[in-house]
Chains A and B, each alone.
Chain A
Amino acid sequence: MSKVKNLFNARWMSSLIFLLALFLITGIADPSFLKYSSIISCFNSATMYTLLAVGIAFVIMTGEIDVSIGATLGITAAMTGMIAQQGGSVISMLAACIATGAAVGLVNGTGVAYFGVPSLIFTLGTNSVIRGLIYILTDGRTIENFGGVIASYGNKTIAAEITVYYAIAVVLVVIAHYVLTKTRKGKYFIAVGDNAGGANLVGISVLGTKILAYVLCGMFAGLGGFVFASKYGQVMTVAGNGYEMTAIAACVIGGISLSGGLGNMVGAAIGAVIMSSISRLLVFIGLPATYNNTITGVMLIVIVVADSLAQRRSIEMARRKRLLSRTAENPEGGEKA
Chain B
Amino acid sequence: MKNLLKKVFKHWELFLVIFLILEFVIFGAANPKFLRPKSIMNSIVNYISVCIISLFVTLVMITGGIDIQAPSIIGLTSIIIGVLWSDAGMNVWVATLIAVVVAALCGALSGFFIAYCGVQPMVVTLGGSFLYSGLALLVSGFSATPAYKGISGFPGKNEAGEFISFRFLGKGTLFGIPMQIVIYIALIILCIWILHKTKYGEKLYLIGVNQQAAEYSGINTRATIMSTYVLSAVSAALAGTLLTANVNSAKYNLGSGYTLAIITAIVLGGTLNTGGKGSILGTVLASLIICILRYGLPLCFDVDTQNLDLPVGIVLVLVVLGREIAGQGILQKWFKKKKV
Contact = CB atoms under 8 A, between A and B. Distances in A.
Given A291-B134, A295-B134, A298-B131, A124 B310 contact: no
A305 B134 contact: no
A124 B134 contact: no
A6 interface: no
A295 B313 CA distance: 33
Interface string B108-127: 00000100011110111011
Contact of B117 (A124, A129, A132, A308): A308
A208 interface: no
A11 interface: no
Given A118-B274, A120-B273, A301-B113, A135 B306 contact: yes
B126 A249 contact: yes
Given A126-B317, A290-B141, A300 B127 contact: yes
B130 interface: yes
Contact of B324 (A115, A135, A140, A245): A115
A305 B314 CA distance: 37
B128 interface: yes
Given A258-B122, A308-B118, A117 B324 contact: yes
A128 B325 contact: no
A257 B264 CA distance: 24
Question: Secondary structure of the B side of the interface?
Answer: helix
B235 interface: no
B307 A116 contact: no
Contacts, number: 154
B325 A115 contact: yes
A294 interface: yes
A65 to B, nearest CB: 8
Contacts of B244: none
Contacts of B128: 297, 301
Given A115-B330, A124-B263, A136 B118 contact: no
Given A304-B124, A309-B117, A128 B130 contact: no
A121 B119 contact: no
Nearest to B140: A290
B300 interface: no
Nearest to B133: A293
Nearest to A111: B321
B138 A291 contact: yes
B129 interface: yes
B123 A252 contact: yes
Interface in A259-278: 259
B102 interface: no
A316 to B, nearest CB: 12
A116 to B, nearest CB: 5
B267 interface: yes
B98 interface: no
Smallest CB-CB A-B distances: 10 pairs: A132-B310, A128-B313, A297-B131, A293-B134, A294-B134, A297-B130, A300-B127, A125-B317, A129-B313, A125-B316
Interface of A: 65, 67, 111, 115-118, 120-122, 124-133, 135-136, 140, 237, 241, 245, 248-249, 252, 257-259, 290-298, 300-301, 304-305, 308-309, 312
Interface of B: 66, 113, 117-120, 122-124, 126-135, 137-138, 141, 257, 260, 263-264, 267, 272-274, 304, 306-314, 316-317, 320-321, 324-325, 328, 330
